[in-house]
Structures are given as C-alpha cells and as structure tokens.
Amino acid sequence: MSDSIFAEGFRTDPYWWDAVPRDAGAGLPAEALPERADVVVVGSGYAGLHAAITLSRAGSEVVVLEAGPLGLGASTRNGGMVSGGVNVGKHASLDPATADEMLAEAAESYGWFEGFIRDEKIDAMYQRCGRFVGAHTRAAWQKQAEEVARLNDIADSGASMVPADRTHDHLASDFYHGGMLLDRSGAVHPAKLHHGVLSVAEAAGVSLFGGIRAGAITRSGTGLEVETSEHAIRAGAVIIATNGYSGDLSPWHQRRVVPVPSYQIATEELGAERVTELFPTHRMIADTKRLLYYFRPSPDRKRGLFGGRDASRRVPRAWLPWKRRGDDELAWPPRRSDGGRQPEPAKRLFRPQAGCVPGFSQDAVVPADGGQILRFPRLAGASSGRVAGARGRPRFRLT
C-alpha cells in the first residue's frame, strides 16, 4: 500500500468536469446583456435552467445570470443518484397526509424526469440501476421495513428488504445491518445531464450569461430591477434559483436554505472487475444516517465514487471527514471495527469546492432541492426557488 492516499496526478476539481469542462466562455458575451427581460433567472443549475426553458417555451423573454461559468454549482458536482421520494420525511415528523402527498409528488417527478431526458434526447448516461439504502443500525433496518408497503403503494418504488447477511450481495462492506432495495431509481452523469439541459435552454431561446453576478433586486415601477456586475436589468419577474450559494442575495433564502459542506472522492481507475466486486449489482448506494455516506460506480464502471457530509460547517483541514481516521486508512466502503473487504485506498479526491454545498431547508424535512433532479417539487419551490415579488407563500410548479 502506498503511503499516500493521493494518486499521482491528484486533482481537486470535480471528476465530472473531466467529461464536461466548465467553460468560462460559454454563453453569450457580456455586451449582449439586455436592459430588460420578461424574466431574469438567477442561477444556472438544473432548477434555473428548467424554469427558463418552461418560461421561454411559453413565450417569455428569459435571461439567465450565473455568477461563475455556467453550471458552476451543485448541478455539475453531485452524486448523480435519481429517485422518486425515498428520502421524503426521512428525518422529520410529518403529518401522514402531508407525507403521503409529498411522496406521491416526488414519485411522479421521477417519471417526469425519465420522460424529459428521453423526449429532449439528453445523453446523461442514465441507467435505471436501482438503489441499495444501507441500514446503519438494526433499529434503522426495522424502520425501513415498516416503510416498504407505503413506498410501494404510493411511489411504486419496487422496495424490498435485504437482511444483514445479504448485504454483500450489493456492497463489499460489513458496515450496514442490511438495508432496503429500491428498483425505481437510477443514476446519471450529472455534468452531462446539466450540459444537455443547457443545450435545451439554448435551443428554447433562453439568453444565457456566465460570469455575471446578480446583486440587489429592487422594485421599479410595476416590475423589478436587478443589479448585476455589468449593468442593471429591468424585469417583470425574477426567479432566484441559487441553491445554497445565495449568500446575502436574498435574506429570505439565506434564512431557509442552509449550506451543508459535502465532499466526494473518486478513486483512481480500479478496473471493471474490481468495481463489480465492490458493487456487485452496480446499484447506487446510500444509507440511513442523517449525515449519510453514498457510493456508486462511475458511469463507465472503472472507478468508485463516494461522498459524505461533514458534520461541521467548516471545511475540514484534511479534506475529508473520513480522512480523520488516518491517512492510510480511508474508510471506504465504510466498515465496522471487525473489518470487511477493503479496496485499495482512494487515490483521487475531488470536492464540490471549499465550503460548498447542497442547500438544505432549515427544518431538514427535505433537501432544498427536494432530493430530485430537474423539477421543482412543491416544497423545493418553497425553499430553493422563489419568484420575487410574488404574493403569499412562494410556490411554483414547472412541468
């Protein structure tokens, strides 16, 4: 074993960007920024782009502003795991009717997602590979088992339980006490997905601007005015789709969408055989912990990718929560003290970026993004996107 967990050529930029580099020059030149638009969308992730596509197709003139290169945020850095509501209410007590309603909507959004990439011919390396959700305690397994019937009834999840002694059928680790299988879930290459959505937005006539930060949003006559790092834009409406990166752009969001440090690692190439040993069914792997671990084979099945959330809000000095266990023992797949088969240590690490983040809604009912890719579930609309100037509870649903 090498004395370093870092592979030769170790890099800190996201693995996904190898396939789709962030192009600082993509989008329209700053000089083309108009003085006015029907709608200004702030943020060029899945949420902002899909809002823009929907509005543009409905006849609005839409400008998307992105502070960095287009797609700088979570949409090109995530784990690429897609599902239909398995996390709804995971760590929160919801009244049963609300929980069921949310689950049904999340389940519907998964079907919508599959239809969208099919109809728009987006090559996101999508695989409906299913998911294994490891139970980190016996009690967690029991709680999962009690959910199976409901998930199957309401979300058609194809859920079933795996006893502890069959965990190895799905993951080369003894960490979990069995878990739940979900057939109705899959995987994408997130940056390719984003690239595809960006192309759809361009084709729909959306004006896309990278490298232009939105500033103060104020009322101006019957509309709004958005300050930008170029010049102000007048707009009939503004959609804020800035996830956990909002900063002080909107105090409303800042109070509700909490940044949570989150990290991922890509191993060096392990080879398809080794990857299949580690992930025998090639499913996505998540778990029941509040600060969960998640694992997956890379879409080409040559590497292992794994991620986790840091319990603290600071960026760990040594890159990763796992690394605290010692430089030469990277706990992946996680294992209990009695060990378990271990892969070669990870050799290449990437992270979303310092201090960065999927946004979580403050009550942790559901990630601000709803745990869903592309479509605003209703709760997500309330927490991660908002039409500035709208009256009442911000709520929009774009289909």
Ligand X SMILES: Cc1cc2nc3c(=O)[nH]c(=O)nc-3n(C[C@H](O)[C@H](O)[C@H](O)COP(=O)(O)OP(=O)(O)OC[C@H]3O[C@@H](n4cnc5c(N)ncnc54)[C@H](O)[C@@H]3O)c2cc1C
Q: Name the residues that contact ligand X, by CB under 6 A.
A: 42-48, 65-68, 72-75, 77-82, 213-214, 241-243, 245-246, 249, 262, 264, 307, 352, 357-358, 369, 371-373, 384
Q: How far is the CB of 337 from ligand X (least distance, A)?
A: 28
**Residue with Cβ nearer ligand X (75 or 174):** 75
**Residue with Cβ nearer ligand X (174 or 304):** 304
**Residue with Cβ nearer ligand X (70 or 159):** 70
Nearest-angstrom CA–CA distance, 288 and 134: 6
Residues 21, 201, 384: CA angle, nearest 5 degrees: 85
Nearest-angstrom CA–CA distance, 330 and 7: 13
Quick one: which of 241, 277, 196 has its CA closest to 383?
241
**Cβ-based neighbour number of residue 367 at 10 Å:** 22
Is the peptide bond preceding residue 316 cis, with omega within 30 degrees of 0? Answer: no
How far apart are the two ends of the chain, measured CA to CA in Å? 51
> In the numeric block, which tokens belong to residue 280?
């025998």
Question: Are the CB atoms for 319 and 263 separated by under 8 Å?
Answer: yes
**Residue with Cβ nearer ligand X (345 or 367):** 367
Q: How far is the CB of 95 from ligand X (least distance, A)?
A: 25
Q: How far is the CB of 215 from ligand X (least distance, A)?
A: 7
**Residue with Cβ nearer ligand X (141 or 294):** 294
Nearest-angstrom CA–CA distance, 385 and 209: 19
**Residue with Cβ nearer ligand X (170 or 253):** 253
Q: How far is the CB of 127 from ligand X (least distance, A)?
A: 13
Q: How far is the CB of 2 from ligand X (least distance, A)?
A: 26
Question: Are the CB atoms for 40 and 14 separated by under 8 Å?
Answer: no
Residue nearest to ligand X (CB): 45
Q: How far is the CB of 345 from ligand X (least distance, A)?
A: 20
**Cβ-based neighbour number of residue 275 at 10 Å:** 22
